[in-house]
Homo-oligomer: A and B are copies of this chain.
């Protein structure tokens, strides 16, 4: 029982403000939707789409897409990145979530949501540009994670030199790279062939709230 003992020793009571805000939610939003929550508990979830979004505290896809409980299966990681298919034995949290959404929940859409002012993308830019050695010494989880986007950096840096514009382009390239990687999963390709799954990419500007959608014909965000 060492493990749970550790947890016992280290976990502390939930901060009061979170308990209070949960109480307010429970007395309002939850109470108004109690019947629906009970249905969801008994009949399970049947979300129409999966959203792959960023952990960033400023970007909440659930609210942005006016989603109700049960509507969206949401994965949130650093920079909304999806790694390529790689059948090894290590822990692939993102790939497992995609597999669960497509093979178990059978969602109809996979939506990758990038955003402006993304700290992860900016770190990737600095790392690939050689100005962030601390991310490349192998000890940084962030550095290894954003390495997924290195091929995207190569393409972007080849056509854009100005740093600020390059970072902005990399935010959108990240969405394209993730969509490309999604296609590399057999169960994704299969569902697409069956016409049961579609892929979508978009990018949101935090300051203006505007959503730019990836146009499959041009590869541009409009």
Interface residues of A (CB under 8 A from B): 1, 3-27, 29-50, 55-58, 60, 62-78, 81, 83, 87-101, 104, 106-109, 111, 116-117, 119-120, 138-142, 144-148, 151-152, 155, 173, 176-177, 179-180, 183, 192, 194-202, 205-207, 209-211, 213-219
Contacts and interface: CB of A to CB of B under 8 A. Distances in A.
A69 to B, nearest CB: 5
A51 to B, nearest CB: 9
B219 A8 contact: yes
Report how many copies the assembly holds.
4
4 smallest CB-CB distances across A and B, nearest first, come from A41-B207, A96-B145, A21-B66, A36-B108
Contacts of A30: 209
A193 B192 CA distance: 43
B90 A77 contact: no
A190 to B, nearest CB: 13
A17 to B, nearest CB: 5
A4 B106 CA distance: 26
A111 B145 contact: no
Contacts of A64: 22, 25
Contact of A7 (B22, B45, B60, B201): B201
B65 A215 contact: no
A35 B109 contact: yes
B77 A57 contact: no
Nearest to A148: B91
Contacts of A99: 140-142
B87 A83 contact: no
Given A100-B78, A195-B35, A207-B38, A68 B17 contact: yes
B192 A109 contact: no
7 contacts: A4-B180, A7-B180, A7-B216, A21-B66, A34-B195, A75-B77, A83-B91
B180 A6 contact: yes
